[in-house]
Amino acid sequence: MSEVISFRLDRNNPREGQAMAVLRKGQEAGYSLRHILTEALLALEASAEDEQQVLAALAEVSRRMEQIRDALESLKQVNMVPVQMHDDHPIQAALAESFLFSVKNAAKPGVRIGAE
């Protein structure tokens, strides 16, 4: 069963005048007043839901940023000494030359595959 909804728009009120222009434009395009108002109300509800989702996402981002800030503050309070490289010593071989020489002398030839 349909329900009658009735209201007035004042042309002197800027928002209501703008609403009347939108209604006229929709009617000129062939839409009924009922269709225009139904679509407008549904769009209004959808935008309110989108706004709630955006607000929830912003609250989550804010909460995460607070966690990051707390973590950074705790890192600032830790006494850490930066590691510095000393360039005054040349890089030495990982194994001593005498060790490498003794391994070469003790090594026995292995199995060969193919002709070399």
pLDDT of residue 95: 80
pLDDT for residue 11: 92
Kindly report the pTM of this predicted structure: 0.47
Q: Tokens 């292995």 belong to which residue?
A: 110
- Which of 40-44, 51-55, 88-92 is least confident? 88-92
Q: Are 23 and 32 in contact (CB under 8 A)?
A: no
Q: Residues 7-24: pLDDT tens digits?
A: 899 999 999 999 999 999
Mean pLDDT of 69-78: 86
Exposure class string for 5-44: b at 16+ Cβ within 10 A, else e: eeeeeeeeeeeeeeeeeebeebeeeeeeeeebbeeeeeee
